[in-house]
Amino acid sequence: VSVDLTVRKIGMQIKTAVKQSVPFIIVVGTDEWQTKQFKVKRLADEVEVTLPIAEIPSYVRTHRDSNAK
């Protein structure tokens, strides 16, 4: 698990995650925090889904093998 709390733009944060071979990113902004729905993006194929927090662990377990390059 890695957290980027810098003030860099999201695009730069994603580029850093790709360089570090991070398999998934989860975007947590004001809207996500209020709705409790979070964007989860698989960086290997750029598939993005919106999920409630309770479903994120299951999604990651199910899809982590698809990140092999």
Task: Work out the average pLDDT over 25-36.
Answer: 91
Cα-based distances in Å from 9 to 13, 22, 54: 7, 17, 27
Name the DSSP letter for residue 8. Answer: S
Name the band, by pLDDT with cuts 50, 70 and 90, for residue 2: confident
For residue 57, what pLDDT is reported? Answer: 95
Global pTM reads: 0.77
What stretches of 1-69 adopt beta strand conformation (E)?
24-27, 37-42, 47-52
CA 62, distance to chain mean position in Å, is: 15
Task: Work out the average pLDDT over 52-65.
Answer: 92
Spatial CB neighbours of 27, under 8 Å, sequence gap ≥ 6 = 10, 38, 39, 41
